[in-house]
Chains A and B, each alone.
Chain A
Amino acid sequence: MTAVTKLELKDVTTTFATPTGPFQALAPVSFSLEEGRFVSLIGPSGCGKSTLFNIVAGLQPPSGGAVLIDGEDATGTIGRVGYMLQKDLLLSWRTVLDNVILGMEIRGVSRKEARGRAEPYLRRYGLGGFEHQYPRSLSGGMRQRAALLRTLLVDTDIILLDEPFGALDAQTKGHMQEWLMRIWTEFRKTVVFVTHDIEEALFLSDEVYVMATRPGRVVEHLTVDFPRPRHRGLVTEPGFVALKQHCLSLLAEPGDTALVA
């Protein structure tokens, strides 16, 4: 099994100019992702996860360093990765179907063809019957599905998901995780997944990067090699629990050791 490097970050740094002086949001961050992997970033809020995504998506220039996609320098270029922002950002004046085809439409596929391509996916991934509804009539979980499909149906090999399930209740979240696993198995894209839920990260991922704040940096790289397909019961197995404890202790502030114990 020869692994191909899909996405590589080389010493990416970011400094924001703020009224109180320069603020270093990201200390040099480097990592490389192999093709087809599911990789999670976890870290406290404000550690620069969204900033990192913005840089990879080309929406914000890094202060230093480079982003490489397929070994080519892709720093500051847009449209190379699918990016699902923290909000679903569905357009209220478009039907669910027309929201889902937005990416294809922007890339020059005709609306008619794009609709034809998207429809089977909507039906297969739990949005059947909602194609011609407007987003406001969808539940939170449905909206996330639509936003995710919009991201997946763009012809990019890498997709970035920024806390896609952060606002969902626990039960919906569980369903959505399994749904995402099914989709990922089928699309086989390289996924970078941001979450602040350790269990979610460990349950879904092949690898987990743990970040720390002030300045934002990677403090640990874990390989999570539980066999797939994974089942809910996994989260109570000793191996899983031990990994979770380890992550908790990495994320804990120096003051709150009680929380870990």
Chain B
Amino acid sequence: MMTERTIGRLSAAAIGRQPPLRLGARRPSGPPRARRLPVERQWPSWLIVLVQVLAFVLVIAAWEAAAYIGMVDAFFWSRPSQIWQTLTVFFTEGDAFVDIAYTFRATIMGFALGTLLGSLLGLSFWWSRNYAAIVQPFVICFESIPKLALAPLIILIFGMGLSSKVAIATALTLVVSTLTTYAGVRAVDPDGERLFYSLGATRWQVFRKLIVPAVLPWTISVLRVNIGLALTGSIVGEFIASQHGLGRTILYAGQTYEISLVWVAVLVLSSLSIAMYVGVSWLERWLRRDLVR
């Protein structure tokens, strides 16, 4: 140790007072403290679920109790027991199924239309670079408009009925699909096209056998984003002007201070959203398995 340090100092002096590079020479205080890799013990999944259920029950119970002793104003916040009551009434006597079906239909139609048209538009850019260059700025412009700001206009044009909700949902999903699909088109390896052409392929063959299958995963990847966007679009449409739908129920209940109904509608809407999300995830998995691989 001693000699090493001496040598280190000597050579440092020799090369112009640079600090010695040897680590051992700079740390005289023995080896570093031995540390173990920090590992968190994983709980069994039943314990996780138990804690989750307990937390949920606790929050609900606390809410009910706070409303009971007047710590929370039940007029503005409502209370769990009342919400439950409203929920049963909504489903047994109210328009629950009409509203759910209305919102669901508008969302699914907008989702399908927007995704389909957007993907076709994105794919169409492959056919001509000039056409793509001309159209691109317009797509970007349309993308930068907050589509929801156009909602009142769309309602005016398409009327109070279902078609206006579908139109808003379509507008929201269309651009995302277009841009994602076009990004997919540009990501196709140009050498893949060269391979096809070297085999004497026509443009149509390249499109069908290379571009479409290569871009499909990109299109599929936007499905889950789009279902959320479509739901947002149809609800905003219902907020502005509608005779049915969960969005309209929320707005109406809020305006008449039926806070428990607001909660019920939000609850049902969330369930619908989750159901559609799960449905689309299945669709995605099925498409990936059977079409993409």
Interface positions of A (Cβ within 8 A of B): 54, 57-59, 78-83, 85-87, 89, 91-93, 102-103, 105-107, 134, 154
- Chain A residues within 8 Å of B200, by CB: 78-80, 106-107
Question: In whole Å, how far is A13's beta carbon from the nearest beta carbon of chain B?
Answer: 21
Interface positions of B (Cβ within 8 A of A): 189, 191-192, 194-201, 205, 209-210, 213-214, 216, 291-293
B194 touching A93 by the CB < 8 A rule? no
B198 in complex: contacting residue of A57, A91, A92, A105, CB < 8 Å: A57
A93 touching B293 by the CB < 8 A rule? yes
B201 in complex: contacting residue of A80, A81, A106, A134, CB < 8 Å: A106
Question: In whole Å, how far is A232's beta carbon from the nearest beta carbon of chain B?
Answer: 32
17 pairs of residues in contact across A and B, judged by CB atoms under 8 Å: A57-B198, A59-B197, A78-B198, A79-B198, A79-B199, A81-B198, A82-B198, A85-B194, A85-B198, A91-B192, A91-B213, A92-B293, A93-B214, A106-B196, A106-B200, A107-B199, A154-B199
B293 touching A59 by the CB < 8 A rule? no
Question: In whole Å, how far is B53's beta carbon from the nearest beta carbon of chain A?
Answer: 41
A79 to B191, CA, bound (A): 15
A102 touching B213 by the CB < 8 A rule? no
- Chain B residues within 8 Å of A91, by CB: 192, 210, 213-214
- Chain B residues within 8 Å of A81, by CB: 198
Q: A103: nearest residue on chain B (CB-CB)? A: B199
The answer to whether residues A89 and B192 also contact, given A106-B205, A134-B293 and a CB cut-off of 8 A, is yes
A59 touching B191 by the CB < 8 A rule? no
Beyond A83-B199, A93-B292, A93-B293, list 17 extra A-B contacts (CB 8 Å). Answer: A57-B198, A58-B198, A59-B194, A59-B198, A78-B199, A79-B201, A80-B200, A85-B191, A85-B198, A89-B192, A91-B213, A91-B214, A92-B293, A93-B214, A106-B199, A107-B199, A154-B199
Q: B200: nearest residue on chain A (CB-CB)? A: A79
A102 to B209, CA, bound (A): 9
Question: In whole Å, how far is B87's beta carbon from the nearest beta carbon of chain A?
Answer: 46
The answer to whether residues A93 and B291 also contact, given A85-B191, A106-B205 and a CB cut-off of 8 A, is yes
Q: A89: nearest residue on chain B (CB-CB)? A: B195
Q: A95: nearest residue on chain B (CB-CB)? A: B293
A83 touching B198 by the CB < 8 A rule? yes
Q: B293: nearest residue on chain A (CB-CB)? A: A93
A86 to B291, CA, bound (A): 27
- Chain B residues within 8 Å of A58, by CB: 197-198
- Chain A residues within 8 Å of B197, by CB: 58-59, 78
B191 touching A87 by the CB < 8 A rule? yes
Question: In whole Å, how far is B208's beta carbon from the nearest beta carbon of chain A?
Answer: 11
- Chain B residues within 8 Å of A57, by CB: 198
